[in-house]
Amino acid sequence: MEYPTLQKLIESKLDFSNEEQDFLSTIEKRSKVINYVYSILGETRIDIITPLDPEILDQAEKFYYNPENQKKKDTKWLITYLNEYNLLKSIIKKYEKNKEHCCDWFYGYNFENENRLNNYPGYTNKSTKTQKNTYTLYGAMDDNNKKAMDVWQAGGVDAAIKHMITGSDGKPRSYAEMRELYG
């Protein structure tokens, strides 16, 4: 039985979501500069040609959910690892659905049993890109800059720029007004 690898997922060029494409693009870039390109759930290091079989995913989950290992990590990172892991599983599902000769290659691995993965305190099932205050210095920002950062994370850089150069009355702000509010 042949299991998918990160390389096969990247080369598949399937219709992945923007978030999934960003994830695979990051993996592809890493593969050009370092030996291991990804750590499943922050610990199980793999390279671009490591088969993503049920055993390696199960091993990563057991390590991740070990209370002793969780104590060593910051909650923000634990949530980030879980969000990335769920992205990886989503990509694998799409890849497998697209295969013509596919069966359930994750024989014995129950993808539908997601609740045990998503019960980590603080897990919101949202992308880390859309969660508020993921920026390291978010807490040090004034309210105007926090609002601009929230708009940026939710709608992208164009939306943030539009937000910063448009007053609450809908009229354009002067450059001086924008700089006074946002630095």
* Sequence ranges of the domains in the chain: 6-98, 138-182
Nearby residues of 133 by Cβ (< 8 Å), 6 or more positions away = 139, 146
Residue 65: Cβ within 10 Å count: 14
pLDDT score at 72? 76
pLDDT score at 109? 47
Q: Cite the DSSP H helix spans in the chain.
A: 6-11, 18-31, 54-64, 67-71, 75-98, 143-155, 157-165, 175-182
Residue 153 identity (one-letter amino acid): Q
pLDDT score at 105? 44
Residue 90 identity (one-letter amino acid): S
52 in Cβ contact with 4 (< 8 Å)? yes
Per-residue pLDDT of the chain (183 residues; tens, 9 = 90+): 688 999 999 999 888 899 999 999 988 888 888 777 788 888 888 888 999 988 888 888 888 888 887 777 777 777 888 888 889 999 998 888 877 544 444 444 444 444 444 554 454 555 444 445 566 677 778 888 888 888 888 888 888 888 999 988 989 999 889 989 988
pLDDT score at 104? 46
Name the β-bridge partners of 172: 166
Residue 160: Cβ within 10 Å count: 19
Q: How far is Cα 21 from Cα 124, in angstroms, rounded to an integer? A: 21
The two structure tokens encoding residue 155: 């709608």
Residue 51's SS3 state is coil
Name the one residue in this structure whose structure tokens are 């807490």.
139
49 in Cβ contact with 7 (< 8 Å)? yes
